[in-house]
Amino acid sequence: MKRYLIIVFLLCFIGSLCAQTKTIVYGNLGVENVNISVIGTQQGTVTDAMGNYTLMLTAKGRRVNLNYSCIGYQDTVVGITPKQLERDSINISFKMRNKDYTLKEVNVLAERPHFEGDRNIIIDFEVYDGTVCMLQGNANKYRLLLADENLFVFDTILIPKGIRPEQLLKDCMGNCQLAAPDSVYQINLNDKTMPFFATARDRYYAVMENTLFLTDKHLYLKAEGIDGFSTLFYRIDVETKQKQPLFVSDGSDNVTDIKDEWDFQARNPVEGGHAVPGGAWDRFIRLFWFNHNSSHLALVGNTLVYFDHDNSKIRQYDLDLNEIHTCLTEYPLKSDWKPRIFQDHSNNKFYTVIGYWFNEIDIQTGKTIPKIKIDVDLYGKVSLWHSHLYILKRQQTSTGKVRSYVERVDL
């Protein structure tokens, strides 16, 4: 029932979109498999074998920025004015420029754009539609600092007294959510004087934690199976409320191996180690020793991209679940691959981590391209926007104080 309440709200949102006018953007780029994405949304498309594309936009009386990206070519951003969006169609055609890929190793201590607060530490951050939102404060006062992509702060939102925030969240529609011990508050970053709409934290997580994304017809979710080893991806029709299973990622065969490891550790305790299996030790074995190749489902325009890591494949489907492209990929077979997929929603590029390298994934070929050498597990949080990797870093000074700052790394 809780999930349906969220769907009712989403239906209202969809209804408001349907009432708006449409503009068709089309053209030729001379290259196939170019991703055209609407910056700040999950809307987009891909050029065909001849380099042609068509994209339908909803006119909203504001400027729309399109990002054209393809591996081997330079990204291009094209702006469309509200006046242009009044037309029925717009032709945008140009030739993509080649990009010279040079493998580079980045020293994590090198000077990069970063923001460091004053006496108040940065607790958390998130990127919302190109705005870097940083949660800053201490035991008495908290505030949100709003910065551009270069981490220049341009605005501040003061958090009302009585709210003790712990974390910034992003829901399936890209909204800013502020999590406190008992409640989660939805925040409109464009209105400094707005009320902080609240919901119970348990209720929010029960409904939204496994919600992936929303299309015009369906809400997409995932559900964890036995002991966290299997994952069911499914969708709910926003009109009929019917549930439709989509994909299953199954690693439950590892359960037996883990039980054997528990028994071995109990019989052969290591001095100073975990003599009795249980708690954190069980989680360590499950997550790091026998972690199954967690699959991932994402949306690119009107295409579902399923990272079928159990079978080392990347599968693409249209929204009617017709398979339109499949390719093999090798990174799930590598022993130093870390089963995490990162998506840059501004240009719909995907990344993963192999060893200490942050790699871009070509979803058309399955190949990976090393971008930078950096251990993302060392940092409190990472986020992507417009081919920038944002990192929350914490260091302890010689005096015992904690230094925290957000740093931007160019990919």
Question: Where residue 86 sits, what CATH number does that domain have?
Answer: 2.60.40.1120
Structural domain includes residue 11: no
Residue ending a domain, choose from 65, 91, 117 = 91
Note the pLDDT tens digit of each residue in 163-202. 888 899 888 878 888 888 888 888 887 776 555 678 888 8
Q: How many domains does the chain have?
A: 3
Is the separation of the CB atoms in 201 and 183 below 8 Å? yes
Is the separation of the CB atoms in 130 and 390 below 8 Å? no
- Return the axis-axis angle of helices 2-18 and 201-208, rounded to nearest 10°: 70
Structural domain includes residue 272: no
Mean pLDDT of 352-378: 89
Q: Please tell me whether residues 303 and 338 are part of one structural domain.
A: yes
Q: Please tell me whether residues 49 and 146 are part of one structural domain.
A: no
Beta strands in 29-158 (DSSP E): 35-38, 44-46, 52-58, 64-69, 76-80, 89-91, 114-116, 121-128, 131-137, 142-147, 153-158
Number of neighbours of residue 274 by Cβ within 10 angstroms: 16
Q: Please tell me whether residues 374 and 234 are part of one structural domain.
A: yes
Structural domain includes residue 1: no
Structural domain includes residue 13: no
Q: The domain that contains 344 carries what CATH number?
A: 2.120.10.30
In the prediction, which pLDDT does 103 show? 41
Q: Please tell me whether residues 370 and 234 are part of one structural domain.
A: yes
Per-residue confidence band for 250, with pLDDT thresholds at 50, 70 and 90: confident
Q: Is the pLDDT of residue 20 over 50?
A: no
Structural domain includes residue 62: yes
Structural domain includes residue 135: yes
Is the separation of the CB atoms in 296 and 341 below 8 Å? yes
Q: Please tell me whether residues 317 and 199 are part of one structural domain.
A: no
State the Cα–Cα distance between residues 361 and 337, nearest whole angstrom: 13
Q: Please tell me whether residues 139 and 221 are part of one structural domain.
A: no
229 lies in which domain range? 215-251+292-378
Q: Please tell me whether residues 246 and 192 are part of one structural domain.
A: no
Residue that has been written with the tokens 């029925």 in this structure: 88
Q: Please tell me whether residues 55 and 172 are part of one structural domain.
A: no
In the prediction, which pLDDT does 280 show? 54
State the Cα–Cα distance between residues 131 and 155, nearest whole angstrom: 10
In the prediction, which pLDDT does 279 show? 54
Structural domain includes residue 275: no
- The CA-CA-CA angle for residues 117, 146, 14, to 5°, reads 150
Q: Please tell me whether residues 246 and 357 are part of one structural domain.
A: yes
Mean pLDDT of 61-89: 78
Is the separation of the CB atoms in 305 and 299 below 8 Å? yes
Strand partners, 328: 313
Mean pLDDT of 94-99: 77
Q: Is the pLDDT of residue 292 over 80?
A: no
Residue 321 DSSP class: -
In the prediction, which pLDDT does 310 show? 86
Q: Please tell me whether residues 318 and 202 are part of one structural domain.
A: no
In the prediction, which pLDDT does 153 show? 86
Q: Please tell me whether residues 56 and 27 are part of one structural domain.
A: yes
Amino acid at 248: V
Q: Is the pLDDT of residue 244 over 90?
A: yes
Mean pLDDT of 281-286: 53
Structural domain includes residue 147: yes
Beta strands in 251-401 (DSSP E): 296-300, 303-308, 313-318, 323-328, 337-344, 349-354, 357-361, 368-373, 381-385, 388-396
Residue that has been written with the tokens 């990206």 in this structure: 69
Q: Please tell me whether residues 363 and 246 are part of one structural domain.
A: yes
Residue ending a domain, choose from 61, 91, 121 = 91
Cα–Cα separations (whole angstroms), residue 209 to 171, 179, 201, 220, 230 = 8, 12, 11, 12, 17
Residue ending a domain, choose from 66, 91, 116 = 91
